[in-house]
Amino acid sequence: MEIRRTQCLIDGEWIGKGETPVLNPASGEEIAHVPHMGGEETVRAIAAASKAFKTWSRSLAKERSAILRRWFDLIVENADELAAILTEEQGKPLTEAKGEILYAASFVEFYAEEAKRIYGETIPSPFKDGRIIVLREPIGVVAAITPWNFPAAMITRKVAPAFAAGCTAVVKPAPDTPLTAFALASLAQEAGLPAGVLNVISGDAVAIGNALCASDDVRALTFTGSTPIGKLLIKQCADTVKQMGLELGGNAPFIVFDDADIDAAVQGAMASKFRNAGQTCVCANRIYVQAGVYDEFAEKLTAEVNKMVVGPGAEEGVTQGPLINDAAVQKVEGLVKDALDKGASVATGGGRHQLGGRFFQPTVLTDVTTAMAVTRDEIFGPVAPLYKFEKDEDAVEMANATEFGLASYFYSRDIGRIWRVAEALEYGMVSINSGILSTEVAPFGGVKESGTGREGSRHGIDEFTELKYMLMSGI
Ligand code: ADP
């Protein structure tokens, strides 16, 4: 079956002509042209989703579950092809792309199972002649706006729970990575998802965003992306009072205490910092190392970073691909320059890679201080800044000194310290002695300006359902 599609999906039809180029970030080549849709097409997609909601929301949970399960099977069967498309438009190494496809599939599998368990409740009544029942109903049409760093997983993590609950969706993928979205939609269609349940449109982000936010029929908006756009969407959704799920920016601290297993901490830092060339919202952004183990950690981390192989993601053996676009390279370059100007030292890397284009050297900076911009800004690139600290309280205070609160990491083997620090960190997620924490079975999400709501786990269904309290009286 052909999953390399370059058209949009509205009401079960593939439509639109190729207008906007999609680039391969490794080579700068145009790999496809996709439609440039706007407000009018968005309104059509919402109408299709509203119509489909009438029947989909009344289908049996078991029927929805079976379709999701078939979609999961098809994603797994086509994982190699999907990974190839993902790497081509996004740049990450093929093995990572394959990992993302299986991670994306895991949400579809999980919510295929969860669809059958969206329970309501009964509550002991305070009224002699009354009984209290709570129904959990699908909220309606869902709008999903997704980023380019996880072109597959950010879509399934949103739409799989929405479909499980009985909702329908209009998805706007990032302009850099529409092909993965179309390929997934193609497989959903093949799995038997009825027309209009999933609509995918590429084009003018502002026009599509405006139409989605302004619509009375769209009852929930789920967004993963930058904090400024998230704030804009909150404002735009105020007039129609939508349910909102927001996964916004992060500024993850990664703390290494002096009792840590240093080799394990180095492996964790590699996984957390350099996955997707540092372009994830849970990537370690600030690495705080206790004075007694600072030199050892810096040396060992630098040795590991020096083993990384930079190149096009499709090439065998490559462990770090290009950054997504030129603006990303300039931003990372600017952050490194700012740190060096203010006294940081380069342990390895430090600038653009000799391959040119969008390739950046995996970099370790030492002697980093909180006066440098890397402390505040989400780096979104392969740069590991190392800060030195003395007391536990100092590390926690520095870790919390940000408006963000998504992921945090620390390494220690002292059980008392582990509890004290885990409780003191103002983050939605705390990873102890591990550099990777994402899984479909746990609630992913942030506090403070990192967002609202949780994705994955049974909690991921919440934003797509409403509670209806029924009082049955006169008994
Ligand atoms: P990033 O910096 O990761 O690209 P963005 O927040 O800019 O993050 O993008 C995330 C998603 O939000 C993308 O799909 C993008 O097209 C979309 N987007 C950007 N601006 C708007 C907007 N004004 N309205 C709706 N969606 C938008």
State if residue 145 touches ligand 1 by the CB under 6 angstroms criterion: yes
Tell me which residue has its CA closest to atom 25 in ligand 1.
209
How many angstroms separate the alpha carbon of residue 211 from the centre of ligand 1?
14
Distance CA 187, CA 1 (A): 9
For ligand 1, atom 19, the nearest C-alpha belongs to 205
Q: What is the ipTM of this complex?
A: 0.99
Is the distance from CB of 271 to CB of 284 less than 8 angstroms? Answer: no
Pairing label, strands 20-23, 30-34:
antiparallel
Mutate to test the pocket of ligand 1, among 229, 246, 276, 279 (most ligand atoms within 8 A of CB): 229
Flag residues of the chain having pLDDT under 70.
none
Rounded distance from Cα 428 to ligand 1 centre (Å) = 22
Please work out whether the CB of residue 147 comes within 6 Å of at least one atom of ligand 1. Answer: yes
Instruction: Say which DSSP state 193 is in.
Output: P
**Atom 23 (ligand 1): residue with closest C-alpha?**
206
Q: State how far the Cα of 263 lies from the Cα of 361, in Å rounded to an integer.
A: 23
Active site residue 247: yes
pLDDT digits (tens, 9 = 90+) for 252-296: 999 999 999 999 999 999 999 999 999 999 999 999 999 999 999
225 lines ligand 1 (CB under 6 A): yes
Minimum-distance ligand 1 atom for the alpha carbon of 230: 6
CA of residue 379 to ligand 1 center, whole Å: 17
Question: Cα 200 to the chain's mean position, in Å?
Answer: 18
Q: Is the CB of 20 under 6 A from ligand 1?
A: no
Q: Is 99 in the pocket of ligand 1 (CB under 6 A)?
A: no
Asked whether 229 lines ligand 1 (CB < 6 A), one says yes
CA of 241 to the centre of ligand 1 (A): 20
Centre of ligand 1 to C-alpha 330, Å, is 19
Out of 41, 88, 247, 449, the active site residue is 247
CA distance 266 to 272: 10
Q: How far is CA 26 from CA 252, 314, 361, 437, in A?
A: 27, 9, 14, 28
How many whole angstroms from 219 Cα to the centroid of ligand 1? Answer: 20
Q: Whole-angstrom Cα distance, residue 117 to residue 111?
A: 9
Per the DSSP assignment, residues forming a β-bridge with 307 are none
Q: Any idea what DSSP says for residue 186?
A: H
What pLDDT score was predicted for residue 1?
76
Ligand 1 atom 3 nearest Cα: 225
Task: From the CA of 146, give the closest atom in ligand 1.
Answer: 14
Q: Tell me, what's the pLDDT at 323?
A: 98
The answer to whether the beta carbons of residues 229 and 70 sit under 8 Å apart is no
For the Cβ of 276 lying below 6 angstroms from any atom of ligand 1, the answer is no
